[in-house]
Chains A and B, each alone.
Chain A
Amino acid sequence: MRKNLKKYQQYIFLLAFAIITLLSLAFGFQPGKTVVTNFTQSFIEMITFIPFLFIIVGLFDVWVPKEKIEKHIGRESGVKGIVLAIILAMLQAGPLYGAFPVAYMLYHKGASIRNIFIYLGAFSTLKIPMLGIEIGYLGIQFTLARTLVSLPLFIGIGYLMEWYFTDKDFKINKLG
Chain B
Amino acid sequence: MFRTVVIPFLNILILISLLLYIIPPSIISNYLGEGSGVLGFLTAAVVGSIALIPGFISYPIAASLIQQGASYTVVATFMTTLMMVGIVTLPLEIKYFGKTVAVSRNALNFVAAIIIGLVVGMIL
| Residues of A near any B CB (own CB < 8 A) | 10-11, 13-14, 17, 31, 34-36, 38-39, 41-46, 50, 53-54, 57, 95-98, 100-101, 103-104, 117, 120-121, 124-125, 130, 133-134, 136-138, 141-142, 145-146, 149-150, 153-154, 156-157, 160-161, 164-165, 169-176
16 contacts between A and B (CB under 8 A): A35-B17, A38-B16, A45-B56, A97-B52, A97-B86, A103-B96, A125-B84, A142-B124, A145-B76, A145-B120, A145-B123, A149-B116, A149-B119, A150-B116, A157-B108, A157-B109
Which residues of A sit under 8 angstroms from B6, Cβ to Cβ? Answer: 50
Interface pair A142/B112, CB less than 8 Å apart: no
Residues of B within 8 A of A175 (CB): 4-5, 8, 95-96
Does B63 sit within 8 A of A, measured CB to CB?
A: yes
Is the CB–CB distance between B120 and A133 below 8 Å? Answer: no
Query: Which chain A positions have C-beta within 8 A of B101?
Result: 161, 165, 170
Residues of chain A with a CB closer than 8 A to B9's CB = 46, 50, 97-98
CB-CB nearest in chain B for A17: B14
Q: Is the beta-carbon distance between B97 and A146 smaller than 8 angstroms?
A: no
**B39 adjacent to chain A (CB < 8 Å):** no
Knowing A97-B12, A124-B83, say if A133 contacts B17 (CB, 8 Å): no
A46-B119 Cα distance, complex, nearest whole Å: 32
- Among B92, B93, B112, chain A packs the most CB atoms within 10 A around the CB of B112
Residue of A nearest to B96 (CB): A100
Option from A95, A130, A150 in Cβ contact (under 8 Å) with B52: A95
In the complex, the 8 A-B pairs of residues with the closest C-beta atoms, listed nearest first: A176-B4, A38-B17, A39-B17, A45-B54, A137-B59, A137-B63, A153-B112, A38-B20
How many angstroms between the C-alpha atoms of A175 and B91 in the bound complex?
12
Query: Chain A nearest CB: distance from B34 CB in Å?
Result: 17
The interface residues of chain B lying within 8 Å CB-to-CB of A11 are: 7
A161 CA / B7 CA spacing, docked (Å): 29
* Alpha-carbon separation in the docked complex, A96 to B6 (Å): 14
* Known contacts A31-B21, A96-B83, A125-B80, A172 near B96 by CB under 8 Å: yes
Given A96, A137, A142, A172, which contacts B76 in the complex, CB threshold below 8 Å? A142
A42 touches B21 (CB 8 A): no
Residues of A within 8 A of B4 (CB): 174-176
Query: With A and B bound together, what is the CA distance between A84 and B108 in angstroms?
Result: 22
Is A38 in contact with B104, judged by CB distance below 8 angstroms? no
Contact B108 A141 (CB under 8 A): no
Report B-chain residues with C-beta under 8 Å of the C-beta of A153.
112, 115-116
Report whether A117 and B105 are in contact in the complex, using a CB–CB cutoff of 8 Å.
yes
B112 near A154 with CB under 8 A, answer: yes
Q: Mark B88-124, 1 if CB is under 8 A from A, else 0.
A: 0100110111100100110011001001100110011
Q: Which residue of B lies closest to A36 (CB)?
A: B17
Chain A residues with CB under 8 Å of B120's CB are 142, 145-146, 149
